Every structure is written in structure tokens, then in C-alpha cells.
Structure 1
Amino acid sequence: MQVIADLRALWPLREFRKLFAVRLVSQSADGMFQVGLATLFFFSPENASTAGGVAAAFAVLLLPFTVVGPWAGVLLDRWRRRQVLLVGNLVRVGLTLTIALLMVTDGVGPAVYVLALVALSVNRFLLSALSASLPRVVDGPLLLTANSLTPTLGTAAAGVGGGIGFVLGWVLPAGRVRDAAALVVAAAVMATASALAARIAPDRLGPSDRSDAAQLRAALGTLARGLVEGARYLVARGTPARALGVMAYTRFLYGVVFIASVLIARNLLADPADSRAGLAAFAAVLGATAVGFAAAVVLTPTLSPRTGVHGWIAGCLGLAAVSQGVIAVTYERVPLLIAAAVLGLGAQGTKIAVDTIVQRDTADAYRGRAFALYDVLYNAAFVGAAALAAAVLPDTGWSRPLFAVLTVGYVLGALGYGFAARRAPEAVPVG
């Protein structure tokens, strides 16, 4: 298979392996941390079981990420990205241990929520740094394979970490110690990620040109202008702006589906009064989605050279449309899990292609801002989806007319993006 040949060519790249290790370990810690939050916000008996409640919780979690994004872009274009990975993970260690201590001593209160939001915001900053760093250790045709491998296996690592957190929640007796256990383990893994980042040379991940302290302060003071300049650059390049546009569009549609899945798992696939059964049902949905993610890592580098990266995006949107057509017909467990796997393939295949386009066609001096804008659009689209879901979803999560509309939305996205890609000239890749 082509993917095996590409992986054999990719693996000897020593600096890539180092960066890849940081991603896998860091995202496994993310999974442990986020499972604890999911249990707290969505699958504890006293918390959200309605469409409005779930949507509000997601909005609260994601709005700080949207605020962090622009600042991250300015800093990632000026700070050494290796130092961001090293220090950022240490900051997360401190935040996570503080949350664990508060949960053991005082229980869940406002301070826990605030610190959790800060920790998740730091996480998005780190993911932006990882994405902006990848072209510094991989270039040429192998960049597509690297983009297939790293985000998808990073997501898989987060799934493994989440599974560990889930198991800890089942085997430990109920109480504050159980609530804190996954966080303590996650903090240890975050510390390991920081140690792995220390193996990378300080200047290896860029950026090529860095500012001194005075220039950095000036850049932070002119944040809005810098983002506008970055956006204008991406629009002038053409392909990165279109890729970000289709990413935001599909993220909006996926956000509605995701919130519906939480509600379906809790209120239709399980007894609404049994939060643990609802969590298990939702874990099954996430597992099926992960199968789709894994398929994307194999199929994207194998098929996209034949279809073209833009044709692959259009095809992935078509697959997503099929998945929503299935759910519009039935919410029974087996068809729902199959639809989740197909949607996972379509969503991750699109993301891999979008990441590749943005990295390949954006100059290094603008990559940090490009991925900061990526994060802003990514999370703002999900917040918008949460607002829509709160307004239109029933508390059961399933609505045949809504899933029919989502089906049409994915079809229109595939046709619109394919038409725009054919009419527009292809950007010349940059180094």
C-alpha cells in the first residue's frame, strides 16, 4: 500500500519522530483530562440532560479557545515553538494538579470550572504550535502523509487517554478521590510531554524570524491589524482561505451532530436516569467515530493523490452527507454507529486535507497566524452550532427534519467547494 511506503520514508526523519512523540503523549493527557470534564458536565446525574444545557456547557468550554486563538498566532510567529511546547505543558501540569487538589479538598466549585477553562485554552495553544511546527520537520510530498498521521494518531492517543480515565472512573469507588485520580495521572503524562519537547533543539521548530521584547509588545498591541494582515495574505493566496472556509462550514455541521449524539446517547440509547449507561453509549459512538478517523489516515494519502486534495475534500463531504441520511431514517444503535464511523472518515479526511493545504500554501512567517485563525473559526463554528442545537434540537437529540437538513447541507458543501476549486487557480506551494 502507498501509505506503508510513505510511512517508511517518513519514519527515518528524526526530528519528525521527536515532534510526533510530543503530540502523542500530550494528547493522551488531553484525553484523560477531557473525559473527567465530560463526566462532570454531561453524564453526572445532576448536570445537563437537555439540548439547552448541553449546548450551554459546550459554549462555555469553547468560547475561551476562540479568545486564545488570535493571541496564539502572534506569539507562535515570534516565540520559539519548541519552548511553547515545553513550557506550555508544564503550565498545564500546575493547573491540573491544582484542580485535583481543589476537587479533593473543596469539591467542584467555580474555581474548578475557571481553571479547567484555562487549561483547555492552553491545550489549544499547544495544538496550534504542533501544527505550525510540522512543516519545519517534514516537507515535500511527505507533508500530506505527516498530516494524515499526526492529527489522526494524536486523536487516537487522546482516545486511549480518555479510555484510561474512563476505566479509572469505573474501578475506583465513587467520591472525590476518584474525581481527582485521572487528573493526577494526566498531570504526570503532561510532564512527560514537556520532557520530550526538551529533546528538540530550541530553534528547530522556528519561526525563522523572531522579534525582541519591544517588538513583541508592539505586535501584541497591534493584534487586530496583524490578524487582518494574516487574513488578507490567506485570501490573496486563495487556497488556504477556501480551505479554512470549508473547515468552518463542516465544523458547524459536525457540531450540531456531536451535540445531538450526546443527547441521543443519554436519552435514547440509555435510560435517562442512568448516567453511567449514557456515558457508555456515548463512548461507543466515539469509538465508532475513531474507527472512521483511523480509516482516514489510511485512505487519505492513498486516494487523495488520485482525486486531488480538493476532490478528496468534496468526496469526504459526500460521505458525511450519507452518514446524516442514515440518521435521518433511524436512531437505532447499529445504524447510528455505522453512521458515526462514516462521518468520522469524512470529517477527519477533510481535516487532513485542509491542514495540508494551509501548511503547504502558507509562508512560514504567516503559519502561526493561519493556525490561530484556524482555531478561531474552528471553535466559533462549534459555538454557533451549539446555539443552533439549543434552538432546534429536542431533548432526545433526534429530529428527522433536522438530520435531513444536515444531509442537504453536506451535499451543498461538497458541490460548492468542488465548483470553487475548479474555477480558482492553484496556489504555488511555499517552503
Structure 2
Amino acid sequence: MTERRSLWGHRDFTVFWAGDTVAQFGSQITLLAIPLTAAVTLQVDARAMGVLNALSYLPFLVLTLFAGVWADRSRRRPVMLVSTVCRAIVLAGVPLLYAADLLTIGWLSFAALLAGVFTVLFEVSYQAYLPSLVDREDLLEGNSKLQVSASVAQVAGPALAGWLAGWLSPQDAVLISAIAFAVSATGLGLVRRREEPPERARDRRPVRREIAEGLRFTFGNRVLRACVLEAATYNMFWLVLETVFLLYATRERGMSAGTVGLVLGGGAVGSLVGSLLAKRISERLGVGPTVSLAMVVGCAAPVLVPLAGGPRPLLLALLVLSFFVGGVGTMVANIQVVSLRQTITPNALLGRMNASYRFVSWGVVPVGALLGGWLGGGIGLRPTLFVAAAGLFASALWIVFSPIRAMRELPPAADGPADGVADGVEDGTADEADRAGKADRVDRLGEQDEQNAETVG
């Protein structure tokens, strides 16, 4: 028997990982550079900012469920490659339009919408591609390396975006992100390993039926229902806060783009710290108390944003503290929730549960963006931040008043439909779970890279 080598010696994984790392930074730069372009370069109002953010996330509501089915029925790498190239082209158009004096909030919103479409197509394929690239025994190492890249990008990305926007301009920062996606596409193109086409299921059922089963299972389970409603409430009010915060920070508090990036970077640092503390806290307090306490702390922290004031150093310190504490709390809770979701869901339903979960929890994001813009333009930026803080704190109540609070440890893993939680799922799901269980076990490893992709849950 030959000794298994580390993935450091795996040529195809190495180039894929390098390209993905660059793309992670590109994504983080884009998240801040596009709204900064609207706020600083185009000087838009709160309502226009709300529409921009809503269009950025609209594809997650419209396409996620169907994109997941498409990704399972086709080769994933071509989808990822085309999506990455298209994101680079779309984003490169923003500084070009500005140079030609043609950039408007309409064109910027259209670019954000297209970038969101290609992001959805990439993400659903990306999460399922790794098993085609490395051997099954290397999946844990591969996911770990990819997660490290994502965590580093989340810590450094906002600060880098703010620095680029301040040193150059917000639209030039968008160009940098386009270049990053072009580099990522090059890494994907250099992968040599041939991806086998997916097997065509002999008894493939209609897409609508499979989607409906996932939705019924997710909302028929009291634990999953509490988690997804908390995540949806949190995400909606987080977009209310995010929509007006850039305008509030740059116009009412006189902060530069670089300073805004540093403040938002506090949340990423908090998330990294939370990921390091999550296991230790859970072992001491138990799963349920850890989720409840961390959720309350993380959801209460944003109230410091509208309350922060005083001399400039104190203002900045309070803002950084707010995002940092929020990042720690939500990450500690998020890790427990993801593990809980994985444990109570049968293998054969994990994919559809994840799609249903993301569809609901991210589908409300455009609503939050529009609500933030409407409130910001109607009652003012600072009052809107108080509304957002109240909504974020209220989201924790879904968990506090759920069965999760009483759990001391994770329940036994579900091999078939979880007892008492699959109400409404059609007969035959148990047999399906048994047939698909072995093939779908890799989904538990693949879902690890989602922990930082979702806000909570």
C-alpha cells in the first residue's frame, strides 16, 4: 500500500485552490466596492441604495432551487468556469462605463443583478465540485483548506476593499475584483482532471416534486423551522442595516471608504474568533444553551451602531466593537446550527433541505434591502438603524422559544427520515433515504464550507 500524499502535492487541487483564494478576495471586494460606488461616486439616496442591494440578492430568491437541480444534472466545472468569466466581464464594465461618463445607478444595478445571477450558478456548483476533483479520503483536507481561504478573505477583504476605494476610487476597486475573477477562471481552466458526467437517474422524478419534499421536510421539523425563521429574520434586518450604514457612515459621520472597510472588517475578525471558540463553549455549556446565548449576544450587538457617538476615536471603537461582537456571537451560533441541521436530516434529504433553507433565508434579503431604502428615505438613516437593531435582536427569539434551548448535545444522526420531524413528506422517502444514504454522505463534508457563507444558520 502506498502512503497517501497531502493535497499540497495534488497539482489540480493546488491550482483550483489558488484560483478560489483569489476569487474569495474578489467577492469580498465586490460586496463593498459596488455599494461604495453608488454612495460615493454616484451620490445616490437611500431608496436607490435599497434597490441596488435588492437586485444584488434577487437571484438567490429566484434561481437557487433550480440552479441546484441543474448543477446536479450537468458537469460542474464548465458551469463554474463560464460563471466566473461572466462575473469578470460584468464587473469590468463598471469602470469602463464610468470612464465613458455613462455610469448611472441603473447600469450599476443591472451589473449587480447579473453578477448575482452568475454568483448563484457558481456557488451551487462549487459546493458539489470538490468530490470530482479529489479522492473521497481527501475531502476533509480539501474542504479545510478552502475554508481557510474563505476565512482569511472575510477578515482582510473589507479592509482591502475600503483601502482600494480610498486610494484609487470605488469603481477602480470594482475593476480589481474583476481582475481577481479572471485570475480565478485561469485556475479553473488549468485543472486537468476530467470530470465525469453525472449519471442519468432511471427513475428521475419531476423537479417540482423533489423541491416540494425538501420544503415540507424543512418546515415540518420544529428545530429546522426555528433555525430557518431565525436566519430569514436576521438576514432581512441585516440588509436593512447594511443598506443605510454606508450612507450613514460616509455622510453623517464623515468616514472615508478606507475607514468603513476597517469597521466592517471588525465583523470578519469576530467571525474568525468565534470559529475558534465555538467548540470549547459548546463543550462547557451544551449545544442548546450555546446557540441561545451566542444568538442573543450576536443579535444584540448591532444596537451599538446607532448609539455610537462622542469623539472620533470613541465612535470608531464602538462601531468596531459592535461588528466584532456580532461576528463572534453569530459565528458561534452558526457552527452549532449547521451541525444540528446535518445531524437531524437524513442523508437523502440533505441537498434539498439545504436548498430550501437557503431559498428562504436568503430569499428575504431583497425585501430587507428595499425596506432599508424606504425607511432610510422616509424616517432618516439613524432611526432606520434603530429599527434594524430591534429586528435583529427579535430574530433571536425564534431560537430562545424553540426546543433547541433545552438540548444539551446533538441528537443521534438520522439514517432515515428523522422521527417526528418529517410530517407531510410523501411516503417512500424512507426507502429513498436508504438507497441514497451512502452516495450522499459526502454532503456532510461539503456543507462545511457553507458555515461562513450564511449569516446565521
1:383 is aligned to 2:366: yes
Give the Cα–Cα distance (whole angstroms) in 2 for the partners of residues 327 and 163 of structure 1.
Answer: 18
Post-superposition Cα deviations, 1:400-424, rounded to whole Å, max 9, x if no partner, equal 8636734751552341245477499
Aligned residue number for residue 230 of structure 2 = 246
Cα distance in 2, alignment partners of residues 129 and 417 from structure 1: 33
* Partner amino acid, structure 1, of 2:390: V
Distance 1:417 1:328, change over 3 A: farther
- The yes-or-no answer on 1:94 pairing with 2:89 is yes
- Which residue is equivalent to 2:419? none
How far apart, in 1, do the equivalents of 2:142 and 2:226 lie? 21
Cα distance in 1, alignment partners of residues 164 and 373 from structure 2: 32
Whether the 8 Å contact between 1:96 and 1:184 is mirrored in structure 2 is yes
> In the alignment, what sits opposite 2:414?
428
Where does the alignment leave 5 or more consecutive residues of structure 1 unmatched? 1-8, 271-276
Match of 2:291 among 313, 322, 334: 313
1:122 and 1:321 map into 2 onto residues whose CA distance is 30
Count residues with an aligned counterpart. Answer: 400
Aligned-partner Cα distance in 1 for 2:192–2:329: 34
CA distance, structure 2, for counterparts of residue 183 and residue 194 of structure 1:
17
Of 390, 401, 408, the residue aligned with 1:416 is 401
- Residue 303 of structure 1 and its aligned partner are, at CA, apart by 3.4
Corresponding position of 2:264: 286
* Alpha-carbon distance in 2 for matches of 1:138, 1:307: 37
Deviations 1:58-98 (A, max 9, x none): 22322233212122121122223333333322232333344
Residues 240 and 362 in structure 1, CA contact (< 8 A), matched pair in contact too: no
Deviation at 1:373, TM superposition (A): 3.0
Cα offset, 1:283, TM superposition: 1.8
Q: Measure how far apart 1:342 and its partner are.
A: 0.5
Give secondary structure in 1 for the equivalent of 2:31: helix
**In the alignment, what sits opposite 1:129?**
125
Determine if the alignment matches structure 1 residue 199 to structure 2 residue 191. Answer: yes
Where structure 2 has 5 or more consecutive residues not aligned to the other structure, the ranges are 310-314, 416-436, 442-457
Do structure 1's residue 187 and structure 2's residue 166 form an aligned pair? no
Residues 248 and 381, structure 2, Cα contact 8 Å, conserved in 1: yes
Contact 1:148 1:296 in 2 (8 A): no
Give the TM-score, by structure 2 length. Answer: 0.70
* Deviation of the 1:292 alpha carbon: 0.8
Q: How does 1:84-163 map to 2 (within 5 A)?
A: 84-105=79-100, 107-109=102-104, 110-133=106-129, 150=146, 153-154=149-150, 156-157=152-153, 160-161=156-157, 163=159
Q: CA deviation at 1:295?
A: 0.8
User: In the alignment, does 2:381 pair up with 1:396?
Assistant: yes
* Equivalent residue, structure 2, for 1:274: none
TM-score (norm 1): 0.74
Deviation at 1:53, TM superposition (A): 3.7
- Return the offset for 1:285: 2.2
1:192 shift after superposition = 2.7
The 10-residue stretch of structure 1 (281-290 or 380-389) with the greater mean CA deviation from structure 2: 380-389
Alignment of 1:1-400 (within 5 A): 20-44=17-41, 46-48=43-45, 50=46, 52-105=47-100, 107-109=102-104, 110-133=106-129, 150=146, 153-154=149-150, 156-157=152-153, 160-161=156-157, 163-172=159-168, 179=171, 181-197=172-188, 198-199=190-191, 201-203=193-195, 210-211=199-200, 223-235=207-219, 242-270=226-254, 277-324=255-302, 326-327=304-305, 329-331=307-309, 332-358=315-341, 367-390=350-373, 392=375, 394-398=379-383
Distance 2:131 2:330 in 1: 22
